[in-house]
Chains A and B, each alone.
Chain A
Amino acid sequence: MKRKKLVALGLTLAMVTGLTAACAGTREKEDDTGKDAVSAENAGDGEEAVSYDGVELTFWMQPYGTDPAIQRKALDKITEDFKESTGITVNYAINDWNSANQKLTLACTGGEAPDVADIFFTNSFVEMSTEEAGLLEINDVVEEMGGEDVWLSAGKDEACVDGDWYGVPWRFDTRVLLYNTEDFKNAGIAKAPETWDELVECAQKLTQTDANGKITHAGLAWYSDMGRYDQTWFSMLAQSGGTMMNEDFTEFTFGSEEGKKALRFLSDCINEYNICSSSVDASYDALTEFMSGNVSMVFGATGENKNSILSSAPQMEGKFASAPLPTATGKEKNAIAFSAPIAIMKTTKNPDAAKEWVKYFCSEEIQLYLSQQLSLLNSNVNVMKDPYFTEDEWLGAFSRTASNSQSGDMPLTTWSQLDAWPDGPIPNMCAKVVNGEDIDKAIEECLDKLEKIGY
């Protein structure tokens, strides 16, 4: 019996020693990396040019564009050029969108973190950051790159929290009207609609129904999939002159007359005007229907849709175009816009090298190159002024919308909960209105839920 106890004690001691050794090993490894960084930083204190030879950075990014091979090729080129000019090796990892949020959350709360990351939900990540882990404040980098005027306002909203910058805005997203030029020609429509009335009139001309009034060819479809109406409504809110929140983001203001008008228009397009196939069906995909010739206009198309269409439906080449989304009277903002920044993590052992990479990656030249390779819009005002955007027939609509849009995501730490799909209060309110619930009641219930979650 005594011998058994001794064996058990021995095993326990061996296990504890093993675990301690493993943890100590990790720390030693981290300290070693730290030493490399310090030597690089010390070199930077001298009068000579900073040498980062031998410094390695990790960079996390999500997939963009229509072909994964193009993104890898573009990143290979950028990282090689960067290494040539600075000596810094950037090891990039493309993490899928499905796990990106979890990985970044763990990175901000003490898990494995890269040196630099392509992030989103900046407010939430800043909130969950600790003293040692999370997003690093980089006001100096932003200042060095030209200050806040360099980026579109949506870019600032996503990268700046309480006056401090935690990232440099790069990709940008706004929405336009995608339409079938052949259908327009056949229906005798000369130009894309600019007001809601024109939109309804156009869609009515393009919609075909059977004897029972069931739509067989829809004039209009919402881009959002699986009955997700909130994104469509956000654009309509901007188009009716309304706002989601007040200027200092302390109060929700969508219960205004403009907000109600936008909700009513959303519902009327489906239930009253009978111009729009209701996309409650989870298998309904507006773009697939557009490519198949079953829909003439898609409300809220994205920049990469052109390549998606050409790649999946080459027969559509030359038969579609884009235009800024119509507004209530033609004078309001066209759409909402989103942006995402590149951030440095506090856990980086090489903050100076990381800043060099962020500045290089977010430079106008690289951003234009990435926009072209990955079919992305850009947060940088000067990049969006490039002829690549302004003179291109497809991208021109995005370029015009970009300068006449308002932020889609609110800079709130709980925004991901408030706008969670499908059960978040905001998507839920939109779905209820589309399904016939009284608008005032739906807004009231939504505001109550928002209050309960907090913001």
Chain B
Amino acid sequence: MKKKKIFGIAAHYLVLGIISVFVLLPYYWMIVTAVKPTEEVMVSPSTLLPSRLEFSNFFKVWESIPLGTYMKNSLTVSVTVTALSVVLATLCGYSISRFIQRRAQKFSLVLMLCTQLIPGIVTMVSLYFIVYNLGFSNTYTGLVIAYVAWAVPFCTLMIKGYFDAAIPKEIEESARVDGCSQIRTFFDICLPISIPGIISTAIFAFILAWNEYMWASILLSGDKMKPVSVGIYDFIGQYGANTKMALTMTAGIFITLPAVIIFGFLQKHLISGLSAGAVKG
């Protein structure tokens, strides 16, 4: 019995180890390339370990591209998108969760699911011209509108799942019996207990806006406006070649930092938020 248990644990860790290597290898590669001496970056076959460590790229990258400006731009857009998406999705998700018996809510739920089935590229041209004719091309307003339009449906479905599974209707009914209005019930009772769900939704919206490339590259022009997901393409030259691989990888480290930090601090909420919505109890 004990042997079986040990074997089970060993198998568990083996699988975990393999998956971890698979997931972490790109990050390892990114970090190792950033600290490799120049002559070792483009060798074939590649080396897993550098012969010596070089940290000059961590300073050079700020001179090579305006990385600070790009990151600031990304942060502005991502925070705005996150705030708007969370507010809209929370209100919408709560409404659908609590009033699904109404035809309009049911219909809106189906519509939201449908939007997730349409590839972004299909709506790109029409959405581009809507944004352009509204005078929002090459503005963050246009980009935020596009991102929010994308993020809200999925965020709504996420948060609706959380409201369905994690907040029993009985709590709300008790509040109503005690004289609480529908709106006060939402703000004073439901919202405080929904924090994990809201955080997981916010992380999703933030990462979507932080990583997005296609829209940002079409809508925005010029270094002053570029977010970091577009700015990193500055290293890709005329023939699709990247001769500054080490600098690109160094920039990659800085770019992934915000998402890694946010996830690190909030992963507890993210996991509980996602799993609460996963099973309807």
Contact = CB atoms under 8 A, between A and B. Distances in A.
Interface of A: 19, 22-23, 25-26, 29, 58, 60, 62-69, 72, 91-99, 102-103, 106, 110-112, 114, 173, 225, 285, 287-289, 291-292, 294, 302, 304, 307-308, 311-315
B17 interface: no
A67 B64 contact: yes
Interface stretch (B86-94, B163-171, B230-238, B260-268): B230-238
B255 to A, nearest CB: 15
Contacts of B236: 63, 96-98
B240 interface: yes
Nearest to A95: B221
A203 to B, nearest CB: 19
A409 B132 CA distance: 32
Q: 7 tightest A-B contacts by CB?
A: A26-B135, A96-B233, A99-B217, A93-B222, A93-B221, A68-B234, A292-B44
Nearest to B38: A314
A22 B244 contact: no
A49 B38 CA distance: 53
Contact of A291 (B43, B65, B244): B43
Interface string B237-249: 1111101110000
Nearest to B239: A302
B218 interface: yes
A111 B129 contact: yes
Contacts of A287: 241
Contacts of A58: 221
Contact of B134 (A22, A96, A97, A102): A22
Contact of B129 (A29, A63, A110): A110
Contacts of B223: 72, 93-94
Nearest to A102: B218
A173 B237 CA distance: 14
B241 A112 contact: no
Given A69-B65, A99-B218, A106-B218, A63 B237 contact: yes
B178 interface: no
Contacts of B217: 95-96, 98-99, 102-103
B275 interface: no
Interface string B203-239: 0000000000010011001110000001001111111
A22 B145 CA distance: 14
Contacts of A23: 133-135
A19 B135 CA distance: 10
A94 B222 CA distance: 6
B41 interface: yes
A152 B244 CA distance: 32
Interface in B104-161: 125, 128-129, 132-135, 137-138
B12 to A, nearest CB: 33
Contacts of B234: 63, 68, 94, 96
6 contacts: A66-B243, A91-B222, A97-B233, A102-B218, A112-B132, A285-B44
Given A99-B230, A106-B125, A111-B129, 20 more contacts: A22-B135, A29-B135, A66-B237, A91-B222, A93-B222, A93-B223, A94-B222, A94-B234, A96-B217, A96-B234, A99-B214, A103-B217, A103-B221, A110-B129, A112-B138, A291-B42, A291-B43, A292-B44, A294-B44, A313-B42
B238 A64 contact: yes
A97 B244 contact: no
Contacts of A304: 237-239
Most buried by A among B128, B238, B241: B238
B222 to A, nearest CB: 4
Contacts of B39: 312-315
Contacts of B241: 287, 308
B134 A288 contact: no
